[in-house]
Amino acid sequence: MAYILSIESSCDDTSAAVLNDDRLLSNVIASQKVHEQYGGVVPELASRAHQHNIVPVVDKALKDAGIDKRQLDAIAFTRGPGLLGSLLVGVSFAKSFAQALDIPLIEINHLQAHVLSHFIRTNDDYVPPQFPFMCLLVSGGHTQIILLHSHFDIEIIGQTIDDAAGEAIDKAAKIMDLGYPGGPIIDRLARDGNPNAFQFATPNIAGFDYSFSGIKTSFLYFLRDKLVVDPDFIEKNKADLCASIQECIVSFLLKKFEKAALKYRVRQVAIAGGVSANSRLRSGIAALGEKHHWRVFTPTLQFCTDNAAMVGIAGYFKYLKGEFADISLPPYTR
């Protein structure tokens, strides 16, 4: 039985979690409000906020878990990809803490952590995915269709050739001046809108790859034309615009994912990453599961956006294999 402390600091959330094997004991997330006024993450401010948050967040994670730091068996940390100044805070903290406690370090890839979030055990009856399964990873920085043969044996079946899905949603929100991050705001406003009110073109990309920059541009030009005629167009059609752009992006995501899952004949599918919090995507993947008799895994909301619990579960599987990291490892940004 192992106690693992995990640290996530790749972007703008400072998070620490404690797991007992695959069981989650605590998961503390400090989100940084400082970026809202800038409409996006300011790297310099993010690393400062991490510096401010990291000790109290780890402290709270240990307290919530009800264990003492001397009981820890290993420390897992996000090594990358992410913002360098942000990663450095978590990486340096993890290294010094592990050294002080004389326990091993485990380095984790952030994307791998998102995908493995489905193995976190929050109750005794939970049955995690069985291999092979296919995961649609959709976040602010990544859009990938991933086939998992085992925890760490993964195959990327398709991915975006330009913007990530979350990035496209955030940009659409920015164009409408809705605030940051745009994903949750568009999701909320879309509930009162008609998803078929407006149509935006989706690109024809071969195979299982995605592209989102064209959708964003088509949305921008569409609004530009409308605003010339009616300056209040966005205000009057906010809900319909949100519902339509969300529908466009989600149905594009799911159409390719469905094709990929059928081609590779998987019976279990999952979504992961920040955009997997989206209600339309969640209902869409559930509907596909019913249609094809797939078992569908949608993460609980606390495991969709960045969190240390997912780093901890990935860390646990590496701990079992005895895969430990050298103290000199630097973070990587991509």
Which window, 51-59, 134-142, 198-206, 235-243, contacts ligand KG4 (CB under 6 A)? 134-142
Task: Identify the residue among 168, 306, 310, 317 touching Zn ion (CB under 5 A).
Answer: 306
Tell me 42's DSSP state: -
The residue of the chain with the least Cβ separation from ligand KG4 equals 274
Is residue 305 at the binding interface for ligand KG4, with CB under 6 A as the rule? yes
CA dihedral 202, 203, 205, 209 (to 10 degrees): -50
- The alpha-helical segments, DSSP class H, found in 102-200 are 110-116, 165-175, 182-190
**Residues 6+ positions from 286 with CB-CB distance below 8 Å:** 296, 298
Among positions 9, 20, 109, 139, the unique one binding ligand KG4 when judged by CB under 6 A: 139
Task: Give the span between the Cα atoms of 280 and 253, in whole angstroms.
Answer: 11
Query: Rounded to whole angstroms, how far apart are CA atoms 80 and 87?
Result: 7
For the chain, list the strands marked E by DSSP: 3-8, 13-20, 23-31, 74-80, 105-109, 133-138, 143-148, 154-159, 268-272, 295-297
Which partner, Zn ion, ligand KG4, none, binds residue 116 by CB below 5 to 8 Å per kind? Answer: none
Q: Whole-number minimum distance, CB 73 to ligand KG4, in Å? A: 27
Q: Of 156, 253, 250, 238, whose CA–CA distance to 205 is shortest?
A: 253
Amino acid symbol at 53: N
Whichever of 129 and 140 has its CB closer to ligand KG4, that residue is: 140
CA–CA distance, 159 with 265 (Å, rounded to integer): 19
* Per-position x/- string for 131-150, each x denoting binding to Zn ion as judged by CB under 5 A, each - no binding: --------x-----------
Residues contacting ligand KG4: total by CB under 6 A: 19
Cα distance between residue 193 and residue 172, in whole Å: 16
Q: Which stretch binds Zn ion (CB under 5 A): 45-53, 66-74, 215-223, 298-306?
A: 298-306
Residue 20 or residue 305: which is nearer to ligand KG4 going by CB? 305
Kindly give the residue spans of alpha helices, DSSP state H, lying in 23-132: 43-65, 84-101, 110-116
* Sheet strands side by side (includes 3-8): 23-31, 13-20, 3-8, 74-80, 105-109
Instruction: Please report whether residue 306 would count as binding ligand KG4 according to CB under 6 A.
Output: yes
Q: Is 193 in the site for ligand KG4 (CB under 6 A)?
A: no
Q: Contact between 90 and ligand KG4 (CB under 6 A)? A: no
Nearer CB in complex with Zn ion: 237/307: 307
Quick check: 166 binds ligand KG4 (CB under 6 A)? yes
Q: Which of 287, 161, 176, 186 is nearest to 244 (CA)?
A: 186
Answer yes or no whether residue 141 interacts with ligand KG4 by CB under 6 A. yes
Among 6, 20, 278, 298, binds ligand KG4 (CB under 6 A): 278
Closer residue to ligand KG4 in complex, CB, 80/181: 181
Single residue of 8, 22, 170, 240 touching ligand KG4 by CB under 6 A: 170
Q: Which of 332, 306, 256, 236 has the alpha carbon at shortest distance from 17?
A: 306
Considering only residues 22, 107, 187, 240, which one is a binding residue for ligand KG4 as defined by CB under 6 A? 187
Our finding on whether 13 is near Zn ion (CB under 5 A) is no
Binding residue for ligand KG4 (CB under 6 A) from 183, 193, 315, 331? 183
By the criterion CB under 6 A, which residues form the site for ligand KG4?
Answer: 11, 139-141, 166, 169-170, 181-184, 187, 273-275, 277-278, 305-306
